Amino acid sequence: MKVAILVIFLCIGISYSFLIAFFPLYSNVLFILPYLVYDPLHLLSNIIDHQEIIQETDAQSGIENGNNSLTASRQLNTMDMTVGLWTPMNNSFALQHLEGEVQKRAIDTLLNKGYQEYYYVMNNFEDPKSLKLTESLLTTANKTNLKIIIILLPPSEGGSDTSYDWDGWIRYFNSLEKKYPSSFEGFTIDDFNWISTKSNTKFKNNIDFMEYTMLSKSLEHKNKNVKFYPTIYFEGKKTGIIVNKYNNFIDGLVIASGCYYNVSILERQLDMFSEIFKKPMRYIVYPTITYNYSRLDYSPPTDRLILATLSIASTYSHGLIVWRDLDNPVIQEHMKYRHDKQYLLDISNSKQAQIKEEIMDTNGKSMKSKLNTSCSNWAKKYNEAYDKWINLPEGEEDDKWKKTILN
């Protein structure tokens, strides 16, 4: 009888060790055992799916092709990722328009939700009302860990009250950094490499205006502690000028995509921009629809599309910026669970499903506009450039792949 009991315990011990070795995804075996008893097939299926995701991710991040080690050095720990909020729709969190204790409570709430940066538009550094709002916000935020980034509008967005006195802006930002060193982070210029649809400007591209007004000369006087994060689109025009003429003044990039309904090449885009600019990147996530898509009668982004975007951007960029809709349930869930390993595996599943559907959609059931046709053309350019890049022989340098997407 004692021998039988000893054998039973020995078998349990061997099985226990086997479980630990076989299920490395779960560090707590006591968590596994109830599922193994009641639903072993379901558990095994989930673990195999998760293992496949990890293996695929490891393969994509660790494979070396030619003289490039793909994305391995750029995959980031989500604990280190900054999360910003871009001019929220919810007026309860439009910080620049709040006052006193209400403003302080709103800042505390955003910090508790996990936001570390706040972006808002300022049109004129000489406007008394704007100056008062900014001073008040920076004063309140200076007692917290929230960083403020001011958005300047390009000609394609700005109105008659928008100042383009770059020297004046730089002097103003330098003064803010000295006065509010804890809260004032810096500034971005929106749509930096985007086109202008306005008829009252002679500049078709915003970058042409930046060149005409000699922005680069003004940036030479920027205090090094005043951060410049231009907002750059993957599909933008004359991006090569930014690399050649502005990169020395850039502290990081705010990256956006005009084709955010398609994420199948987002990893490649982020990887290539990181290689080209060699700067930290914050990626804008759109949880709600933007004007260009709303006027084409698109539905808002699906939950799965948002999750897929979050999964990719959390892995291949240095930060996220939530565009306006912080109340979106998917965004709220992400802010709550973004450090949870199981949640990260779940949104990776969403990414795989989203990309699979996009790739299968070769007949263009969603290709109902010139905008989508343009997005397909851009995807082709990026794929071709990426293939040229990773297939370069070891030690060989060739910038032809860069020219494909920077001109």
Contact 67, 45 (CB under 8 A): no
Q: What is the 3-state secondary structure (H, E, C) of 96-117?
A: HHCCHHHHHHHHHHHHHHCCCE
Residue 378 lies in a domain: no
pLDDT category at 325 given cuts 50, 70, 90 is very high
The stretch 322-347 carries a mean pLDDT of 97
Given a cut of 80, whether residue 37 has pLDDT beyond it is no
Alpha-carbon span 136 to 330, nearest angstrom: 32
In a shared domain, residues 104 and 63: no
pLDDT in tens, 352-375: 999 999 988 755 555 456 678 889
Residue 395: predicted pLDDT: 78
Evaluate if residue 63 carries a pLDDT over 50.
Answer: no
The pLDDT, as a whole number, for residue 67 is 44
pTM recorded for the entire structure: 0.82
CA 136 distance to own-chain centroid = 29
Q: Do 67 and 396 touch, CB atoms closer than 8 A?
A: yes
Same domain, 183 and 263: yes
Query: What is residue 362's predicted lDDT score, i.e. its pLDDT?
Result: 55
242 and 308: one domain?
Answer: yes
Q: Is residue 385 part of a domain?
A: no
Encoding tokens for residue 370? 């010139």
Domain count, the chain: 2
Where helices occur in 278-327 by DSSP H, the ranges are 291-294, 303-316
Residues 181 and 57 reside in one and the same domain: no
* Whether residue 148 is found in the same domain as residue 232: yes
Q: Rounded to 5 degrees, what are φ and ψ at 367? A: -85, 70
Helix segments in 96-255, DSSP class H? 100-113, 128-141, 166-179, 206-212, 215-219, 239-241
When pLDDT is cut at 50, 70 and 90, the band that residue 192 belongs to is: very high
* CA 42/CA 46 separation, integer angstroms: 6
One domain for residues 232 and 337: yes
pLDDT band at 200 (very low <50, low <70, confident <90, very high): confident
Mean pLDDT of 166-171: 98
The range of the structural domain enclosing residue 217 comes to 72-371
- Rounded to the nearest 10 degrees, the angle between the axes of helix 266-277 and helix 303-316 is 30
The string of DSSP letters for 73-84 reads GG---GGG-EEE
Taking all residues of the chain, what is their mean pLDDT, rounded to a whole number? 84
Residue 384, domain member (yes or no): no
379 in a structural domain: no
Output the domain CATH number for residue 83: 3.20.20.80
pLDDT at 372: 81
pLDDT at residue 293 greater than cutoff 50: yes
Q: Kindly state whether residues 223 and 338 are assigned to the same domain.
A: yes
One domain, residues 16 and 78: no
- Comparing 13-17, 298-302, 303-307, 350-354, which segment has the lowest mean pLDDT? 13-17
Domain-located, residue 167: yes
Q: Are residues 203 and 314 in the same domain?
A: yes
What number is the average pLDDT over the span 337-342? Answer: 96
83: its two tokens = 């999360």
In a domain, 405, yes or no: no
- The per-residue pLDDT for range 245-292, each reduced to its tens digit, is 999 999 999 999 999 999 999 999 999 999 999 999 999 999 999 998
Within a domain: 382: no
pLDDT digits (tens, 9 = 90+) for 75-129: 556 667 999 999 999 999 999 999 999 999 999 999 999 999 999 999 999 999 9
* pLDDT over 90 (residue 12): no
Q: Is the per-residue pLDDT at 217 higher than 50?
A: yes
- Supply the pLDDT for residue 75: 57
Chosen domain end from 51, 69, 87: 69
Report the distance separating Cα 215 and Cα 331, nearest Å: 36
Asked whether residue 228 falls in the same domain as residue 190, the answer is yes
- Residues 30, 162, single domain; the answer is no
Whether the pLDDT of residue 27 is over 50: the answer is no
Q: Is residue 395 part of a domain?
A: no
Same domain, 46 and 148: no
